[in-house]
Amino acid sequence: MRKTIIIAAIAMVAAIAGCGGSGLPTDATGVPKLSAVASSIGCTNLQPIKPTLYASAEGNCKLNGRDVDLVTFATDQLQQNWEQVADQFGPKIKDGPGWAAYGS
């Protein structure tokens, strides 16, 4: 019985903590912060821009000397929709839960 209670408590803490997300700092809506994503992947000189369709936040930065479009998303579905469109314009460089980086 005690083992069941401990397992249930761990599961509850994990759910509250949002396990399964990006592990990055988020804004008030739970979306990964653009600056945190940029920092975590080594993207420098981040210049926020007006977000495009499906995006929560978006910016341009440099990653290993390459121009990158860095984007965050409120849901997995919005990310999938954005990536489907973006695949037509440039290669995906990196992505993770709630964000994507594409070459421009």
3-state secondary structure 72-94: ECCCHHHHHHHHHHHCCCCCEEE
Instruction: Specify if 98 maps to a domain.
Output: yes
Domain count, the chain: 1
Instruction: Specify if 4 maps to a domain.
Output: no
Contact, 22 vs 99, CB < 8 A? yes
Residue 66: give the domain boundaries: 23-103
Instruction: Specify if 16 maps to a domain.
Output: no
- 49-68 burial by CB neighbour count: b if 16+ within 10 A, else e? eebeebbbbbbebebeeeeb
Residues 15-74 have pLDDT tens digits of 333 334 669 999 999 999 999 999 999 999 999 999 999 999 999 999 999 999 999 999
Instruction: Specify if 5 maps to a domain.
Output: no
pLDDT at res. 104: 77
Residues 7-31 have pLDDT tens digits of 433 333 333 333 346 699 999 999 9
Instruction: Specify if 18 maps to a domain.
Output: no
* pTM for the structure as a whole: 0.78
Instruction: Specify if 3 maps to a domain.
Output: no
